[in-house]
Amino acid sequence: MIIAIVLFKNKTITKIMTISFVLLHIWLTLHCWTNLNKTELGYFTFNSLGVLLLSVLSFLTIPTVYHGFIYASKDDTKKYDIYHSALIALMTFMTGAYLANGMTVLWIFVEATTLAVAALIYHDRTEMALEATWKYVFICSTGIAMAYLGILFLGFIYGRDDAANLSFASLINIINLANPLYLKIAFVFVLIGFSTKMGLFPMHTVTIDAHSVAPPPISALISTTLMNVGFLAIFRVYTLFASSTILPFMNSVLILSGLLSLLVAAGYMLKAKHLKRMLAYSSLENMGLVAIAVGVGGYGYYAALLLLVLHSLTKSSLFYQMGQLSRVLHTFKLDECGKYMELYPAGALVLLLGMVCILAIPPSGLFISEFMIFKGLVLNDKWFVLVIAIILLCFVIYAMSTRIMHILFSNSRNEGDSKVPDKVNPVESVSQFVLLGIVIIMCFYQPPFLVDLINQSFGLLPK
């Protein structure tokens, strides 16, 4: 499909190829559901966690492509084709990462996502976009190199004859024979390396800068499905090592990383003046909660995966709305925003519902996830972590709610610089209402197929 886009150089052909890819991706997801736990082509296994996250990606391809068509509609043919070619490549690489059944294949696909994202970040061809692109490529490459060092330490588990076999199925059978020191070093390198994709402390800065300049539909993917790729890579290694003696060490590292992520997110959200950066720090906060949930174990495993799914739906809807807000207000700067409820009521309602959902305020489904995390902390007597997390979340709630309310109801602080607002068709916000509606429904009802798939995803972990 990318070849067809490059050869024909026609916007209509590009649209057809992109829509065809979406349909093909949905078919692949359905194929994975009907062939759960089967291996195909030797390198891909349709396991529960991979299929769960693939389903989220497949579901979000439809609104992402739709809003991408709108965002890029005024671009020349070359930029239009590059945007959609890179988008197809990114979704393909993420799909490969979700289904990879070995560390080497997973690493290759994660590294490939860097190249696709770089092309998308640079879409608007500004100086800021160029700077953010180079930062993204450099920091991600550094992180992926560190993850590779972790994979090399995994190779030390084997004898010389079998060192090339790094499939998850073979690793799990001999993990208890490994030197615990090698396992600890491998986990730390993998966590730091893949945190460039998960957006977790200490490598979180790369995604923050990327959000400031990336097209809103791309920010939606970077902040959701690409972060899920990073989580999956870390969780795969965590699952492998969970049966060894380093489980308490891994849990402590994850909880520490999660708390530091919450601290950074809360601190920077209190002074955030750029709306997309504010949402990026919100993603950092949620990934911090996911790390804490995994580190807690028990209830935390289910809470972490449910939080990933619901965060993906909520945060993507907010980023889609940012694209519409920028067309109405001509800015992403907080001081230049105001009276959004008067100018575009449908979009304002999306922001209001999105704020309630992302802050885990009932009836948001994220409330269930966070409640389960807190319950896990209580049951494990981690009162210090619980108190610190709650205090930091209060700062996050205050920071985001005051900013959203200012956008909706207050006057712009820089009214002299205001431009005539554009009109946006309310139909464009339908996709966001659908996504947020699902998140709200999940607070009261979680379908059995989803519950079963999540439970299967951590079935090998100690309860």
**Tens of pLDDT, residues 64-95:** 999 999 998 888 888 888 999 999 999 999 99
Residues 239 and 267 grouped into a single domain: no
Inform me whether the pLDDT recorded for 164 exceeds 80.
no
Residues 344 and 437 grouped into a single domain: yes
Report pLDDT for 160.
46
In tens, the pLDDT along 366-379 reads 999 999 999 999 99
Q: Residue 458 falls within a domain, yes or no?
A: yes
Residues 80 and 149 grouped into a single domain: yes
The percentage of residues in the chain with a pLDDT greater than 70, rounded to a whole number, is 94
Q: Is the alpha carbon torsion for 149, 154, 155, 159 positive or negative? A: positive
Residues 270 and 230 grouped into a single domain: no
Q: What is the pTM of this model?
A: 0.93
Structure tokens at 77: 């043919």
Count of all residues that appear for the chain in the document = 463
In tens, the pLDDT along 417-463 reads 556 677 888 899 999 999 999 999 999 999 999 999 999 888 767 66
The domain boundary residue, chosen from 187, 217, 245: 245
Residues 262 and 241 grouped into a single domain: no
Phi, psi of 45 (to 5 degrees): -125, 135
Helix, strand, coil % over all residues of the chain, rounded to 5: 80, 0, 20
Residues 385 and 409 grouped into a single domain: yes
Q: Residue 253 falls within a domain, yes or no?
A: no
Peptide bond into 202 cis (omega under 30): yes
Q: What is the mean pLDDT of residues 218-232?
A: 91
Contact 129, 259 (CB under 8 A): no
Amino acid letter, 433 = F
Q: Report how many domains make up the chain.
A: 2
Q: Which long-range contacts (CB under 8 A, 24 or more apart) does 42-49 make?
A: 43/100, 43/101, 43/102, 43/105, 44/96, 44/99, 44/100, 44/101, 44/105, 45/99, 45/101, 46/99, 47/101, 47/457, 48/453, 48/454, 48/456, 48/457, 48/459, 49/232, 49/235, 49/305, 49/457, 49/458
* Alpha-carbon torsion, ordered 257, 262, 267, 272, to 10 deg: 110
Question: Angle of helix 383-409 relative to helix 366-379, nearest 10 degrees?
Answer: 160
Q: Which of 183-187, 235-239, 271-275, 310-314 has the highest mean pLDDT?
A: 310-314
The band of 331, judged by pLDDT with boundaries at 50, 70 and 90, is confident
3-state SS track over 103-133: HHHHHHHHHHHHHHHHHHHHHHCCHHHHHHH
Structural domain span for residue 197:
1-245
Residues 31 and 123 grouped into a single domain: yes
Residues 224 and 319 grouped into a single domain: no
Which helix or strand (DSSP H or E) is residue 220 part of? helix 216-222
Residues 167 and 282 grouped into a single domain: no
CA 31 to mean position of chain CA atoms:
23
Residues 132 and 69 grouped into a single domain: yes
**Distance (Å, whole) CA 273 – CA 325:** 15
Report pLDDT for 156.
67
Q: Is the alpha carbon torsion for 173, 178, 181, 182 positive or negative? A: negative
The domain boundary residue, chosen from 212, 245, 278: 245
Q: Residue 461 falls within a domain, yes or no?
A: yes
Inform me whether the pLDDT recorded for 403 exceeds 50.
yes
Whole-number average pLDDT of the chain: 88
The band of 163, judged by pLDDT with boundaries at 50, 70 and 90, is very low
Q: Residue 251 falls within a domain, yes or no?
A: no
Q: Residue 401 falls within a domain, yes or no?
A: yes
Q: Residue 252 falls within a domain, yes or no?
A: no
SS3 333: strand
Q: Residue 250 falls within a domain, yes or no?
A: no
Which helix or strand (DSSP H or E) is residue 387 part of? helix 383-409
Residues 180 and 288 grouped into a single domain: no
Residues 20 and 135 grouped into a single domain: yes
The domain boundary residue, chosen from 245, 267, 285: 245
Q: Residue 153 falls within a domain, yes or no?
A: yes
Inform me whether the pLDDT recorded for 332 exceeds 90.
no
